[in-house]
Amino acid sequence: MTNFEPLHPLFGVIVGDVDLTGPLADDVFAEIRAAFEKYSLLVFHDQPVSDEQQLAFSRRFGPLELTKIGALGAGTELVILTNVDPDAGPDGAIAPPEHRLHGSHRANSLWHTDSSFKKTPALASLLSGRVVPSVGAETEFASMRAAYAALPDETKQHIEGKVVMHSFANSRNQIDKDLASSAERDELPPVPHPMVKANPATGEKSFYLASHAAHIVGMPVEDGKSLIAELIDATTAADRVYRHAWREHDLVMWDNRCMLHRGQPFDDQKYRRHMIRTTVSDVDAGAEAAA
Ligand code: MN
């Protein structure tokens, strides 16, 4: 019987007694899906999955995203987050300090939710630690749903019905003006998303923000930016954050509709790090946006 052990008072569970390297029975999957809706962050230890096994488990949650241009794994269903020279394989040499790979890890150090800059945003990300540094490179998580629940009623009313513009370049520009390429800027123009959304399974509301959130439609740009920053700060106060220290073969899954996350630094010239992410599309949100 699958079991769930709490990680943080506000969200998250460790899922035990489950083997993701093989097919899951429907009732086991249903328990995991329900836990995902309820707890927003699932940690599975000791899951030495192959790419195919990770893809198979991920697909049970819905259709997978294709990786955007400019990322490793572009055009496939895998995002490869690595500091190892992509031409050398996971056992190869660490890429030199000036390599663009290190820039994307720095951009991941901003609080964000994956793919909010896409027209069809993401339901979930599944990240497996294939090779993990022994020091640093933790991933931190915080719940926008928990932060929304704690907002005063007048703030809830103020943000209800508002629309936020998200753009890939907005987050990259905070690190380095040259980090987003002109091809990425052309392929990924700013997109609108509702500021407040309810989970379709539970009805619980959350706001939806990220480092990609650039401004709020109908508000002066600077006012929108400070409101976004204020809400992200409230979400990520130290006592509201869970920090995941990776073990090799952890698979960590989170709800991109309501969780923020960020990567912590590590000595990227000393330790190798090789992570594989699969990303499930939020097809309900995509269909609403097109309607
Ligand atoms: Mn991310």
Q: What is the distance in A from the centroid of ligand 1 to the CA of 192? A: 19
State how far the Cα of 277 lies from the Cα of 43, in Å rounded to an integer: 14
What are the average pLDDT values for consecutive 10-residue runs of the chain, which has 291 residues? 92 97 96 98 98 98 90 88 78 81 76 92 97 95 98 98 89 74 80 96 95 91 94 97 98 98 92 94 82 65
Instruction: Give me the pLDDT at residue 70, please.
Output: 81
Instruction: Give me the pLDDT at residue 87, please.
Output: 73
- 139 and 188 Cβ atoms separated by less than 8 Å: no
Task: Look up tokens 């923000």; give the residue.
Answer: 209
Q: What is the distance in A from the centroid of ligand 1 to the CA of 262? A: 7
State how far the Cα of 239 lies from the Cα of 9, in Å rounded to an integer: 10
Instruction: Give me the pLDDT at residue 201, please.
Output: 93
Instruction: Give me the pLDDT at residue 105, please.
Output: 73
Query: Using the 8-state DSSP alphabet, how is residue 23 labeled?
Result: P
Instruction: Give me the pLDDT at residue 31, please.
Output: 97
Q: What is the distance in A from the centroid of ligand 1 to the CA of 107? A: 9
Instruction: Give me the pLDDT at residue 107, please.
Output: 72
Q: What is the four-CA torsion angle of 32, 122, 253, 248, rounded to 10 degrees? A: 150
Q: What is the distance in A from the centroid of ligand 1 to the CA of 153? A: 30
Q: What is the distance in A from the centroid of ligand 1 to the CA of 261? A: 7
Domains of the chain: 3-85+93-290 (3.60.130.10)
DSSP string, 49-100: --HHHHHHHHHTTSPBPPPPTTSTTTTSS-EEEESB-TTT-TTSPBPPTTSH
pTM: 0.93
CA proximity to 37, closest of 77, 78, 4: 4
Instruction: Give me the pLDDT at residue 290, please.
Output: 67
Q: What is the distance in A from the centroid of ligand 1 to the CA of 82? A: 13
Instruction: Give me the pLDDT at residue 89, please.
Output: 66
Q: What is the distance in A from the centroid of ligand 1 to the CA of 263? A: 8
Q: Can you say how many angstroms the Cα of residue 67 is from the centroid of all Cα atoms in its chain?
A: 13
DSSP string, 140-203: EEEEHHHHHHTS-HHHHHHHTT-EEEE-HHHHHHTT-TTSS-HHHHHHS--EEEESEEE-TTT-
